[in-house]
Amino acid sequence: MIGNRIERARHAAGLSLRALAEQIGLSAMAISKYEREEVTPGSDVLLRLARALGVRVEYFFRTEEVELKQVEYRKRGELKAADKKKIHADVEDQLERWLKLEEVLPGDWSQEFALPKGLTGHISSLEQIEELALALRDAWQLGHNPILDLIDTLEEHGIRVITVVGDEDDIFDGLSATCCGGMPVVVVGSRWPGDRQRFTLAHELGHLVVHGRLNEGIDEEKAANRFAGAFLAPRDALFKTLGSKRKLLELQELILLKAEYGMSVQGLLYRAGDLNILSQNARKQMWGFLRRNGLYDKELGDPLPPEQTRLFKQRIYRALAEGLIGDSKAAELLGMPLIELRKCRHMECPSHAAD
Ligand SMILES: [Zn+2]
């Protein structure tokens, strides 16, 4: 079992056998033997491994094993196999820490994901997805208002959201998967601006909602995108702000809307086309303008700060305050050095939301 854990931590750290071996002054062969469990590492080696891999020694002995299933990547190109393994291992590690936390802090806070009853069963056009998004907003009591914190909204409804750094080439956007008996898991890159993260999250929510409801001939990717737009910036709210028929839009209007709804200017422009606020011609004209001015794939307007996952950390500090866990367990669950946790508890850490 330890071998498996060493290998997983090595992938999570993005290290080859040789790179890890060099760091701790052993041969690649020796590490490989540990991973295949032909040899059991002693405590001194485990300590060195833990340091090099950025985990605590307890990590190697953890018994909760999480396995991601039905993994679907959202990416802009081909991800390297090593990057996939790294992301996978990181997600599984974070999910295992969740499981551990649930053990020490049981309660009704980890709600099961369920879609509201009565959602339309058959979608025969993309337009119908507008209604679906509104129905979900209603059931979740979001009204037509902008969603301030999408991660929080999803977590509150039983979707586990994990953020990971991703790959160096910036290809990875996010992924969806299930784990632990069918719980939906959505993963999003932690470094992306808020609007890009939010679209990814809403897109993945879209898959959960539209899957199995689409009539033949409707592409699920397109449906998930339409859902994302409709969920983030509901039709009626846009009609109210922009009007239902326009000759053209000023980019500044969209920049103001971006700040309000947390959706990119380009996404809003698509949306205005989808909702026929703009004619096909007007839409083409505006895209043409963006292309000619090199603005097509640029961030327009102020970037939105990335969203944060807070629930997990909140629950750890709660368990700590209630005396259900000690400093050392809290540090392990948070994945931070004990000394850092102690500093944070005394308000001496640079970032109070340390990862
Ligand atoms: Zn998708």
- Rounded to the nearest angstrom, the distance between the alpha carbon of 228 and the centre of ligand 1 is 10
Q: What is the mean pLDDT of the chain?
A: 90
Same domain, 28 and 140: no
Does 63 or 13 have the greater pLDDT score? Answer: 13
- Rounded to the nearest angstrom, the distance between the alpha carbon of 103 and the centre of ligand 1 is 32
Domain assignment present for 86: no
Domain assignment present for 84: no
- Rounded to the nearest angstrom, the distance between the alpha carbon of 204 and the centre of ligand 1 is 6
CA neighbor of 50 nearest in space, from 79, 17, 9: 9
Q: What is the CATH number of the domain that holds 284?
A: 1.10.10.2910
Same domain, 52 and 142: no
- Rounded to the nearest angstrom, the distance between the alpha carbon of 202 and the centre of ligand 1 is 10
Same domain, 177 and 29: no
Domain assignment present for 305: no
Compute φ and ψ for 75, nearest 5 degrees. -150, 160
- Other beta carbons within 10 angstroms of residue 115's beta carbon come to 14
- Rounded to the nearest angstrom, the distance between the alpha carbon of 221 and the centre of ligand 1 is 5
Q: What's the whole-number mean pLDDT along residues 306-330?
A: 91
CB distance 24 to 49 below 8 Å: yes
Same domain, 209 and 158: yes
**Which of 63, 83, 101 is the last residue in one of the domains?**
63
CA neighbor of 198 nearest in space, from 133, 168, 154: 154
Same domain, 11 and 144: no
pLDDT of amino acid 141:
94
Residue in the block written with tokens 């086309």: 273
First to last CA, the chain: 27
Q: What's the whole-number mean pLDDT along residues 151-156?
A: 94
Angle between helices 28-35 and 2-13 (to 10 degrees): 130
- Rounded to the nearest angstrom, the distance between the alpha carbon of 63 and the centre of ligand 1 is 32
**Amino acid (one-letter) located at 31:** I
- Rounded to the nearest angstrom, the distance between the alpha carbon of 22 and the centre of ligand 1 is 40
Same domain, 199 and 321: no
Same domain, 240 and 184: yes
State the sign of the Cα–Cα–Cα–Cα dihedral 69, 130, 240, 301. positive
Q: How many domains does the chain have?
A: 3
Angle of CA points 94, 96, 99, to nearest 5°: 115
- Rounded to the nearest angstrom, the distance between the alpha carbon of 90 and the centre of ligand 1 is 21
**Which of 20, 48, 63 is the last residue in one of the domains?**
63
Domain assignment present for 164: yes
Predicted confidence band at 354 (pLDDT cuts at 50, 70, 90)? very low
- Rounded to the nearest angstrom, the distance between the alpha carbon of 1 and the centre of ligand 1 is 34
**Which of 16, 35, 63 is the last residue in one of the domains?**
63
- Rounded to the nearest angstrom, the distance between the alpha carbon of 168 and the centre of ligand 1 is 22
Domain assignment present for 220: yes
Query: What order do you get walking across the sheet with 69-75 strand by strand?
Result: 69-75, 172-179, 183-189, 160-164
- Rounded to the nearest angstrom, the distance between the alpha carbon of 220 and the centre of ligand 1 is 7
Predicted confidence band at 81 (pLDDT cuts at 50, 70, 90)? confident
Compute φ and ψ for 185, nearest 5 degrees. -120, 130
Q: What's the whole-number mean pLDDT along residues 182-191?
A: 92
Whether pLDDT at 193 is above 70: yes
Same domain, 285 and 329: no
Q: What's the whole-number mean pLDDT along residues 228-249?
A: 96
**Amino acid (one-letter) located at 173:** D
**Amino acid (one-letter) located at 189:** G
pLDDT of amino acid 108:
60
Same domain, 139 and 263: yes
- Rounded to the nearest angstrom, the distance between the alpha carbon of 139 and the centre of ligand 1 is 23
Domain assignment present for 73: no
Q: What's the whole-number mean pLDDT along residues 228-234?
A: 97
Residues in the chain: 355
- Rounded to the nearest angstrom, the distance between the alpha carbon of 343 and the centre of ligand 1 is 41
- Rounded to the nearest angstrom, the distance between the alpha carbon of 212 and the centre of ligand 1 is 14
pLDDT in tens, 34-77: 999 999 999 999 999 988 987 778 888 877 678 888 888 887 78
Same domain, 148 and 276: yes
pLDDT of amino acid 303:
92
Compute φ and ψ for 183, nearest 5 degrees. -70, 130
Q: What's the whole-number mean pLDDT along residues 109-132?
A: 88
Report how far residue 157's alpha carbon sits from residue 212's, in angstroms, rounded to the nearest whole number.
20
Same domain, 286 and 315: no
Whether pLDDT at 346 is above 50: yes
- Rounded to the nearest angstrom, the distance between the alpha carbon of 224 and the centre of ligand 1 is 6
Whether pLDDT at 98 is above 60: yes
Whether pLDDT at 20 is above 90: yes
CA neighbor of 99 nearest in space, from 322, 312, 350, 244: 312
Residues 6 or more apart whose CB falls under 8 angstroms from that of 53 comprise: 6, 9, 10, 12, 13, 15, 20
pLDDT in tens, 214-225: 999 999 999 999
Report how far residue 63's alpha carbon sits from residue 315's, in angstroms, rounded to the nearest whole number.
21
341: containing domain = 311-345
CA of residue 327 relative to chain centroid, distance: 27
- Rounded to the nearest angstrom, the distance between the alpha carbon of 76 and the centre of ligand 1 is 12
- Rounded to the nearest angstrom, the distance between the alpha carbon of 28 and the centre of ligand 1 is 39
Domain assignment present for 350: no
Domain assignment present for 4: yes
pLDDT in tens, 260-269: 999 999 999 9
Residues 6 or more apart whose CB falls under 8 angstroms from that of 16 comprise: 28
Strands 160-164 and 183-189 turn out to be parallel
Q: What is the CATH number of the domain that holds 55?
A: 1.10.260.40
In the chain, pLDDT over 90 holds for what percent of residues?
A: 62
Report how far residue 12's alpha carbon sits from residue 331's, in angstroms, rounded to the nearest whole number.
19
Same domain, 173 and 257: yes
pLDDT of amino acid 109:
60
